[in-house]
Structures are given as structure tokens and as C-alpha cells.
Structure 1
Amino acid sequence: MRNADISLSGVYELSKILTAPARLEITLTNVVNSLPSFVRLRHAAMIVLDAGGELEITTTDGNNHARQSGPRSVIPQAVVDRIVATGTPLIIQDVGKSELFQAHIQPTLNGGTLPVTFLGVPIKAEDKILGTLSIDRVRDSATSPHCDEEDVRFLGMVADLVGRTIRLHRMLSTDHQRHVEEQCTPEKSDERTDPARHPQVKIDGIVGESPALKQVLETVAVVARTNSTVLLRGESGTGKEFFAQAIHKLSPRRKKAFVKLNCAALPESVLESELFGHEKGAFTGAISQRAGRFELANGGTLLLDEIGEISPAFQAKLLRVLQEGELERVGGTRTLTVDVRLICATNKDLETAVVNGEFRADLYYRINVVPIMLPPLRERPGDISRLAKAFLGRFNSENNRELAFAPPALDLISQCYFPGNVRELENCVRRTATLARSRTIATSDFACQNSQCLSSLLWKGVDRSHGSDGFARGNKAPAGSPLPARRIDIPGGEPLPLRAHNPSDSAYPAAGPRLTDRDRLIDAMEKTGWVQAKAARILGLTPRQVGYALRRHGIEVKKF
């Protein structure tokens, strides 16, 4: 029997894979390869159909993706047709006794002495069938029909996320094709320059050309056209408020108000008044009637920042407004109807909060309609120098200065590890510019070069746990922690970067431009006594990915 912890953990991990910037085929392959971590299976398969119902993408557990144009697939065509036609899950306890499998019995589906169970669910998006997701497994005495039903429910949740991702990729592809056609058609030049059709929005504070950032901006442009609730997720300092403003400015509601509220900054009693408003005399100090943020944002957009910090009691009150679109002011009896596009933001692990009973599951599903993962700065290394120049330009404008970075200074800051992301980078630039002794900022002007960077206490937590002091050793943080420039190739997906680390720390794998992926992998395994789980932690990978890499590079695991 599945438990809620495994299901939520699986949905969370798979949603991160689906929102990562990658080609659709690679994304779907990574999802299928991750299924064995959350559900018992022998084989898994995902089939995606095109607009005409023909086979477009087929991916199976452990195999690379493949585009096919013929009717042949990894499971019987009759099974695919049944799931697509009915739009409902299909459970076959023994494929050897099923008519659907009789004409397509393969060694992979032949259970030998034990029967093989097949579980399949449709992949949907807005009531349209886009394909199927299925698994098969050998059935034994420990397997019960109830277990099959639980796993089908889990696969249904995964298929729903996959369907949304496929639809989003197709929308982006269609928009790109339309843009290319418009550029190639002179008579449509007036439409291309029409600001009402394609508003040009400057997003203050968001600078960069990295693929990860571009992927997010493309998603924002598509999502903004609808009224769907958006959940912005990412580490502190990644610019969630700026992206929320971009969604509002690109939406049909851009002429209405954009209202924001930090839920973590107010106690529950004040938060209720701020969101719902209050009547005169509702409590001490309520000397007049006041409209809440929901009323002020009527027809526009409301950003609820730090949504994960509100109390369970207030979550119930908020859920009613989101479901019904109705509210009453504090101390009032009249029901007000509001039309608000909601954007929520958090850096909290909501899935864990739901499992621990700290966050209502029904509210989680209500706000997690379109999740957008904002990339941390360490995944945008090429953008650091651009952001640093932009922040320095802002500092010069505000303080009537004419400072500039020396090339070595830009190289240094581009290699820094910023746990506080863009917010910390801006503070670093402002602090350095304020204390600079000349018009040209040199490497010696940075606090990390003088063992005065307090952020080292954050990223060197592992050293502090062993009793060492970053300042006493003169470690240069964050500049002493270069971003991961090397990657390890994992079969069935894009190369994954190694975790940022301090090169002087013997607990981390060797780093250097001349070291190959194989050398890094062997070095990490040797330092951890050939324990794959420990090597995975210092490489920033999963044990399963380390196992793939070992087999790919032909490395024999030593046993002691």
C-alpha cells in the first residue's frame, strides 16, 4: 500500500523534472526513468500522440527516447486504443489471459511462472487525450488489488502533470513558429509592432541571457495570457516578485491593479484584515471601513508572497475565497464577490509541509495549478557579470558616481557562489562600490579577498559543523566557491552539473579543467569508500544517477 509521503515526494520530484529547461523528449525520458524510485515496476512506457492521433514520441524505462511514425509501439496497439478511446485507467491482472495482449505477447511481457500485471492511464490536457503512461510488473502473493488501485492513482497524478507539460511545449512551439512566419511575411509587420498584441515589457531587476532564464521567461509569456493561478517557486533572492509583475504586465489584466502582500510579515489577525478588509468598529483601532487587498485587486492580480508561512487556521479562510470568489470583511455580514488572478510565491518545501500537517493539501492543490521553478543564480553563471554591471550602473546613477569593474574583478565575481542569489549579488556589488578606493573596482576591493565576507558562514556550514572557522582559515567566500563548470553525463537525460564546492575541502571531488568526468567520478567514489550513496551526495546527484554513470564509463565498483 502506498503512503502519502511517497506519493507527494514522487509528485514533487517529477514536477521538478517537468519544469526543468530541456527538450520535450528528454524531459519525458527523465520522468519515465525516475518512476522506479516511487512505484514498484519492471518496465515503464510513455506514448505521446500527435494532433492526428499518430504515434509521435515513445520512451521506455532505461532506454533513450525515439520518435516513431509507424503504428508499432512498446505496448500493444489495442491497449493504447482502449485507453485513448475510453479516457480511463486500465488494469489487467494477468496479461497472459487478456485478449488485448494475445496478438502482441513479447518476452518483456511474459511473466514465466508468475503472472504479469499491467497498469495504464491516459495522459490528458483539458479533456484531450495526448497519450498513455503505463507500467507492468510481476505479480506475487504480496501484491493486492488495493495496491494496484493506489499505484494507478499515483500514475494518474503523474500523467496529469505530463499532459500539462506537453501542452505547454506545444504552445511554445506554435508561438515560435508563428513568430518566424510573421518575420518572414512583410504584410504582417504592422501586427508585429502593435503594442496591444505584443506588449514590450521591461522587467526591472531581471537581466540575463542564460538558457534557464529564457525558458522561464517563455513560460511566463504563455501563462500570462490566461487567468490560471501561478505558483512561483525558488530560493530566496531569485526575483519572484519581479516575475509576478511580468505575468501581470503581459496579461489582459495589465490595465488593472497589481497588489502584493508578504504573508510572513504580518500576524494572523492583521493578515486577515489586510486581505479581506474590515468594517468600522470591527476591532479596537478600526475607526473606519477599509477595503482589503482582494478588493483592491478586483479585476487585476494579487501576489501572495511567502504563502507557505500562513497558519493552518488562516489557510481554511483563504481556501474559501479561492474556491468561491467570495469574502466578508472582518466584522461585516455582506458577502462581496471578487475577480482576482492569484499568484503565489514561496521558497518553502510545500510537499513536506503537507505531509507534516503544516499546510492543507486542498489549498496546496488549489494554488499549485501552474508551478514555475525560478533558477538559482548558480545555474545562471553567464548572467552574473551582466547583473553585476547592471547593479553597478544603478549604484552610479543613485550616487552620482562613475565606477567600473576591472576585467579581473568581473572574472572573480563570476566564479562566486551566492546562496542569497540575485539579492546577495546586488548587496555584494553595492558594498564593494561603496568602499572602493578608486573609479575602477579591482579584485582587492571585494570583501572575500580580505576574509570579511559574512556569507561564508552560510555556504561553509559543513566546515563549521566540524569546528573550523572560515575567517580563521582565510577562506574567500563566496568568491572562494566557484560555480560548477564541469558536468557528468547521465544516460537518458541531459548532463547534470556537479554541486558547487570549495576546492580546498578534501571532502569534495577533485576539480580542474583537465579532469574528465570519469576521473571526477572515480575520485568521488574513492573518497567515500566506494559507497554510491555518499558519492552521490558530494556530486549533487542521486544514487541511481551515479549507478548509471559508473556503468556508462565502465567503472568496476570495488568491494571491501
Structure 2
Amino acid sequence: MYDNSEISSRLKDLTTLYEITKELASSQDLSESLKKIMHILSSMKSMENGTVTIINPITGKLEIEVAHGLSEEKRLRGKYTIGEGITGRVVATGHPIIVPQIAKEPLFLNKTGARADAIDQQRSFLCVPIKHGEQVIGALSIDRYYEGGLTEQANTDLQFLTVLSGLIAESAVRIQMVNQEKESLYSENLKLKRELSEKNRINDIIGNSSKMQDVYEMIHRVVDSNATVLLRGESGTGKTLVAKALHYNGKRKDKPFVVVNCSALPEPLLESELFGHEKGAFTGATERKTGRFEQAEGGTLFLDEIGEISHAVQVKLLHVVQERNFQRLGSTKLINCDVRLVAATNRDLEKAVSENKFREDLYYRLNVFPVYLPPLRERRTDILLLAEFFLEKFSKENNKTIKRISTSAIDLLVQYHWPGNVRELQNCMERAVLICDEDTIKSIHLPPSLQTADPRSKGSPLSLSSAVENFEKELIIEGLKKNNGNQTKTAQYLSTSLRIINYKIHQYNIDPKKYRI
């Protein structure tokens, strides 16, 4: 029979286990869950300095995963080899250990420095192994003060901790399996998105960002239509590529695709270029000329930089768009035309209309189906994709074997503000390929303009220590990539020790698993 104090103690144990089980069952983050469990042990069981130590599968050392009541600095000190100290011995043997009084146990190392005062030194230390099947994966330990020395309560607490360690092990395995399943689903989702992106991608247009997906959607909606399309966007955003996509993916793909750069020709020549002229129409017109509208019959006419045309040309263009016929210069004969019109501009046409620089009626005729091309700075997730595309393209053209872009170069590419958009990125990568004599594009191969910060951004300059840290981090990541995430080989590759590599990896929060193929 149990007396009242024993019944009360066992009820408290059951209540504590219930709270802990509830926490473990509802959590998918083991680390956060363990922190809450250590807090429960402290508040409900008077167990202080609750610590979970786990074997690091990479280094093979014991490292404190969670420690209640310890600062981050003290937690990081808690590293042991298997067999070292009380915790190391528990993991090595797989058997629990009770230290009656911390101050009198020579094996107790106190690496964290958490038991500095006299009261802490009088406490007992209980440590149990965390097992998954027969394999010991770590240890659970607590401090507790027993008035009058060790009592039967210590054995009860040891049994309680053994049960708890089993729950922790089972939850760790369950959470790991759930996370693996999530990772698998995430990978499958990415694969499907890539396949969908490949399906939606049109000709040479590169981009998976949400803004480019919107562009693809707009192209698909209007590709088989005869509606006039107005492409808006800054210079270098790919308006010509979209115009080609509209033609070569539509029902007119077997007919001509004709391009006119409206800003490259003065007014008299542009008018002749668009509509043609008869022999003798003006000085120098020695023979009849077929205009671009006639050349594009049945196909697509792409008018680039439409915002630059004069009022006189605007009037004639409006007539063609409305009536679908035109006259050659020097002729009175009307020529019917069946042409899909695609126009492009980087100008603010609405402002030009308000300033009477562009005809309002022509603007509305052209603006039937506007498509906005986002600048590169608004689709930063596409920068690396485009850079790798250009890297492969120019490497083949120049018979070079350049396999990748370094982390530091990627950082510069992503952080730059790209005023010249995709065209500037293309030129940048071509230059980098030409001057690179290695298998990796590095930051030194990029133009000087990328080495300076965005003038629109505000921030303090990088300190020397930060620059050194960034350089160290880049070297380690480069080494891990080249050695398939193997830290030992990375240490050899960088001519340093495994201990220093491990320390730096933890310091810079680098995950070697990311670099395993």
C-alpha cells in the first residue's frame, strides 16, 4: 500500500507525463518541443538544468541540443566525446547514472559552467540514455536537490526520466519521418511546378517567377487572337522575345514576322518603310518599294518603340489599324492588309497623350490588349536562372567548360539593381565567360558596376570583420560543394583541420547536407 505522500508523488508524475505527452503529440518541431518539456520538468518536478544531449551524426560528438536555464554561450560549451564525463559514459554504456553530489564526483566535468555556486554543487545529477531500439542516440539529464541526501525519490525520478527518454526517442523518430515526408512532398511539388513551367514556357523566354507566370498566362490568352497587343516595359525586359512568342506560337506562325524599329528611322524614311512608295514618289525614289505592311501580309508586324513616331505617321498608322488598308507613298490605290499588329514601348504613353505628344485615338487602338513586362529587379528569383542560361549559352559559343557560378558572384548578381534589365545581365554573363579561365564564374569576373552597391539603397559599408566572415563562409561552401558535403574532405581541400571546419560551419549556420548530391 502507498501512503498519501507516495500517492501524491505518483499523481504528480502522471500529470507531468500527461502534459509532456500532449506537447510531444502536438508538435512538429522537436527542438521547440524539448524546450517546453524542460520547462515543464522545472516547474512541475523541481528538476533544474534539464538538458538533452544528442550525438552529432557528422562529427560523432555529443552536443547539447536543448538546455533549460543555460545561456546560448554555455550551451555551445557542452560538447563531449562518447565516454567523456558522466553524460559521455551514459551514452557509451546505455545505462543511467545518479551522481549523489556534483561537488564530490571527479567525473563530473561541468563544461557548461552552469554549476558555479555552492548550492548548485550540493545538487544531485541524474542522467539517462535516449534510445531508439538498441541504439543510443543521446542522453537526458537534470539536476535536483534532495534534502538530507539521496532518498528513494531519486530512484523514482530515474524511472520517470527513463520513461520520458523513451517518449522523446519515439517523438524524434516520428517527427523525422513527418519531416522527410514533407520534404518529399515539397520536392515533388517543385518537380511538378518545374514541369508546369516547362509546359508554359514559350520559346526563349526564361523565368519561373510569379510575375513571369502572369506574362505567360497573358500570352496564352491572346496568342491565337487577331487583337492588337501593346507590350509595355523598360528597355531590355524582353519585349521583342514576347512579340516573337506571340507570332511563332499562334496561328500565323507559317507567315512572315516583320520587325520595324520606329526610333531608328526619321519620319520620311519611316513612312516609306512602313507603307512603301511608288517610283518617283520623292527625290531618290528610283523604283517601287514594298513596305513592311505588305511584307507582313498574313503574318505579324512588330512595331518597336511605337512611342517615338511623329504625328504624321501616327495619323496614317491609325487609318491602317481602323480600316485595314493603306496607300503607298505617291499612289492613290488602296491596298488591303491582313496583319496582326504588335507594338512595344518603354515610354509612358498616358503622359504622352496628356501632353499631346501621342494621339489619344491611336493610343486606344493600340492598347486593346496590354502586356506588362516586369523589370529584372522585380523578378529577382529569375536572376540565377537567367544567369545560368547565359552561362551555358556563351560557354558553348566560346568553347569553354565553365560549370557553375560561385556563391559570392551569385550574391552580387542577386543584389544588383539591373537598370539595363535582362539585356544588361546577358552582356554581363558574356563578359564573365570571356575573361574566366577557370571552371567557376567568381565575383572578380563580373563587371565593376556590380561590385558597387545600388546607389538608391541606404546602409552602412561592410566592416572588415564582416567581409572576412563572408569570404570564409564562401570558401567553406565552395569546398562543401566540390566535396559533396563531406566535411573531412572539405578540411583537406582547404588545408585546415576538421575541428576548425566544424567550428566554422556551426558559427556560420551552414548546413552541409544541402551540398550532398
- Normalised to the residue count of structure 2, the TM-score between the two structures is 0.49
- Normalised to the residue count of structure 1, the TM-score between the two structures is 0.45
Q: Highest relative contact order (Cα 8 Å, sep 6+), 1 or 2?
A: 1
Find the structure with the greater CA-based Rg.
Answer: 2
